[in-house]
A and B are shown apart, each in its own frame.
Chain A
């Protein structure tokens, strides 16, 4: 009995290594100035997926929605142990809020076909909404477990997972298929050398075409042959458009996004004066009291 697990991941600007020009004057993110990275909690979701693959001999499909070069996070996923990769890319998807994104991903999941679990990172470091996973579950009519730390057991009928709650954790059973959002409770494994050597050559159709146009070489027949060869070797990253997944054009991209950004404020934290606290019990107690009064703690 085998399982299919889908992991949805996102390529995000690296907000942890911010440089001076991270924001444009209008307050939006300057994506060009920030390196694109694998969203950290999506790596945790992928790691959980790989662990389940190893435990239950599951097939692991990784999907992402993004611009053509988001294929990089898909290759990163293949380096770590994913079996297949799907890139959902189309200009029509651009400017999506969480509603439009989760709708697009739901179309993608339906296109992929039968699955037992969908895993997502809890939230992305660019928007910090934590909405896409739960919304995707709703769109697909799936039960969901959020804040998952680990999976205790997976059967064809149910999944038993440990989820983080305030001050501890709880263990919940949930019928499958289900969707889980994953928190940073595991250590994502490094990329595997042999997989790097193999999957660095994996590409999407656009990348194959681009390689040809870069080489000033456009032979439709050669493209077909090369595509077939890549598929044969398992080096094909499936590329899907809005049309391919049957998405309603009114519900995706900017058009499908009711969220409007009213105002963006760039908060610059500056240090004020400092205070010496005696490294004694009394000193620490008074600090704690002060922080509680200040509503920093509690």
Chain B
């Protein structure tokens, strides 16, 4: 009997301690929806009670149904024959369970049959799904596509697609990558042409590495403006699976075996424009990607949670030298670090989703209020949360996905030789984690996305607020060790800013982002320890571990060591 919600104290802490009030009121339009929709909450308590009940239900579905199927799904995967992808029967059973549980349109509005839940709750579900089966997240998480249609589609498109996404009848894919356009999506070439007589759009070209490329509904990034070669010539299209859209092959991958990753060929596929022309990349894909980055952070976190738990269980059962191996310092040290990384990642992720939800709420008000009636306070808040989300989303993605790899790596290490064998799940977690810091933007690109906010000290007001909390005793002493690191980070940022050397900044960016991440998470963990004294040891040890790393990062940045820039080719070419 396992329930991935009720067995996870830290996840429940996150739900219990999120400051939901503003966020839920925004999402439920001050609870006015309850007059129209019987399942909409009437107040905050009602809403949070819904979240808890449904997270508990999904905890049961993931723990009791999905996890036991995950091994076979990984071993056997989907089947591809004559251009048709068939998911493994157990993957189909997983999807049926999730459809029956009614969680295929978690964030969609009540009006189209969705649950109208905040991103935070959806992300918690994503985490549990990923803990049960990393690859299933890629199918569960594609409901982000319907979110994009809800946000930017026409009323006709919304009516045509959203109710069917909400029931899970329709599934989606996000067709962005091409053989020559990976990280650099500005160079996408897939051609969109419009029939001058009928106005109908058609798509021609190829896409590669398309997760669930066999989907019913595709969101496609394509070049609608002939003669352009940059991001401003790209638009977003919606098309449906049809004979002109050919699945050429599916990939053989290191991990996430359960989901099909397809190569697609578009032979004059009829399509509809989604949103405005030329805004495909700059607006819609960026929005889609930001959502997907949060989802991948949660996928990584779920895998890390699974890897940590199996390692802990193994270490408490495996005896060597006449005692269980978790009694040996190098092993319990590893377990402690794995746990701290997982908890730190969760703390950062749900702080991020809270900001993402607030941004979304204010965005929605802005989009639906005439400019003249707009409260300047709303405008100010929308701006503030947008800026915070823009730095915290890539920061979370970099941190969660990197620690997931580290935790899965240590997970194998704790299993020893057994962990290298297929008999245990440790190796699967390691394989599944490996894609998370690559797709939806590599860690290197997350650093690029986050560094601007770090250089502009976007998070300073947030950390200032956290630093005013009244810490006492152990927490006060711990905070005293963290505080000087803030000063060091500010000095390092100033130093790099004044150097005005873009190459040096690009090289040092990861160290600065690391410092910023540790400081923010350190303060968040101190805050959480104020709410629950049992968390004091975690806050203390997380910060104690982070300090030497931050010191090292500080010295690296201040060193003005340009050998890598000057001599990398000498070294690489030798």
Chain A residues packing against B (C-beta within 8 Å): 17, 187, 189-198, 200, 233
Among B39, B53, B100, B115, contact of A190 (Cβ-Cβ < 8 Å): B100
B408 nearest CB across to chain A (Å): 29
Q: Closest A residue to B97 by CB, please name it.
A: A190
Does B255 reach chain A (CB closer than 8 Å)?
Answer: no
B195 nearest CB across to chain A (Å): 41
Given the complex, which residues of B lie within 8 Å of A195, measured CB to CB? 39, 102
Among A17, A196, A233, contact of B54 (Cβ-Cβ < 8 Å): A196
Contact B39 A197 (CB under 8 A): yes
Given the complex, which residues of A lie within 8 Å of B65, measured CB to CB? 190
Known contacts A189-B100, A196-B50, A197-B40; 17 further A-B pairs (Cβ under 8 A) = A17-B1, A189-B97, A189-B101, A190-B65, A190-B101, A191-B57, A193-B57, A193-B101, A193-B102, A194-B102, A194-B115, A195-B39, A196-B54, A197-B53, A200-B50, A200-B53, A233-B38
Number of interface residues of B (CB under 8 A): 22
Does B49 reach chain A (CB closer than 8 Å)?
Answer: yes
- Select the residue from A192, A195, A197 with max chain B CB neighbours within 10 A: A197
Given the complex, which residues of A lie within 8 Å of B93, measured CB to CB? 187
Q: Closest B residue to A234 by CB, please name it.
A: B38
CA distance A96 to B251 in the complex (A): 62
Contact B50 A197 (CB under 8 A): yes
Q: Closest A residue to B60 by CB, please name it.
A: A190
CA distance A6 to B531 in the complex (A): 49
Given the complex, which residues of A lie within 8 Å of B40, measured CB to CB? 197
Given the complex, which residues of B lie within 8 Å of A233, measured CB to CB? 38
Contact B97 A193 (CB under 8 A): no
Does B24 reach chain A (CB closer than 8 Å)?
Answer: no
Q: Is the interface of A mostly helix, strand, loop or mixed?
A: loop
Given the complex, which residues of A lie within 8 Å of B361, measured CB to CB? none
CA distance A200 to B40 in the complex (A): 12
CA distance A161 to B40 in the complex (A): 40
CA distance A246 to B93 in the complex (A): 45
Given the complex, which residues of A lie within 8 Å of B38, measured CB to CB? 198, 233
Given the complex, which residues of A lie within 8 Å of B39, measured CB to CB? 194-195, 197-198
CA distance A193 to B168 in the complex (A): 13
CA distance A192 to B101 in the complex (A): 4
B416 nearest CB across to chain A (Å): 25
CA distance A194 to B103 in the complex (A): 9
CA distance A248 to B529 in the complex (A): 62
Q: Closest B residue to A190 by CB, please name it.
A: B101
Q: Closest A residue to B65 by CB, please name it.
A: A190
- Select the residue from A187, A191, A193, A233 with max chain B CB neighbours within 10 A: A193
Does B41 reach chain A (CB closer than 8 Å)?
Answer: yes
Q: Closest B residue to A197 by CB, please name it.
A: B39
CA distance A190 to B57 in the complex (A): 8
Given the complex, which residues of B lie within 8 Å of A197, measured CB to CB? 39-41, 50, 53-54, 115
Q: Closest A residue to B47 by CB, please name it.
A: A197
Interchain residue pairs A-B with the least CB separation, the first 3: A197-B39, A193-B102, A189-B100
Among A17, A187, A192, A200, contact of B102 (Cβ-Cβ < 8 Å): A192
Residue-wise, chain B 97-120 has the 8 Å CB interface mask toward A (1 for contact) of: 100111100100000010100000
Q: Closest B residue to A189 by CB, please name it.
A: B100
Does B61 reach chain A (CB closer than 8 Å)?
Answer: yes
Q: Closest B residue to A198 by CB, please name it.
A: B39
A166 nearest CB across to chain B (Å): 28
Given the complex, which residues of A lie within 8 Å of B54, measured CB to CB? 193, 196-197
Give chain B interface residues in 14-63, CB to chain A under 8 Å: 38-41, 49-50, 53-54, 57, 60-61
Given the complex, which residues of A lie within 8 Å of B1, measured CB to CB? 17
Q: Can you list 22 A-B pairs with a CB-CB distance of less than 8 A? A: A187-B93, A189-B101, A190-B57, A190-B97, A191-B101, A192-B100, A192-B101, A193-B103, A193-B106, A193-B115, A194-B39, A194-B113, A194-B115, A195-B39, A195-B102, A196-B57, A197-B40, A197-B41, A197-B115, A200-B50, A200-B53, A233-B38
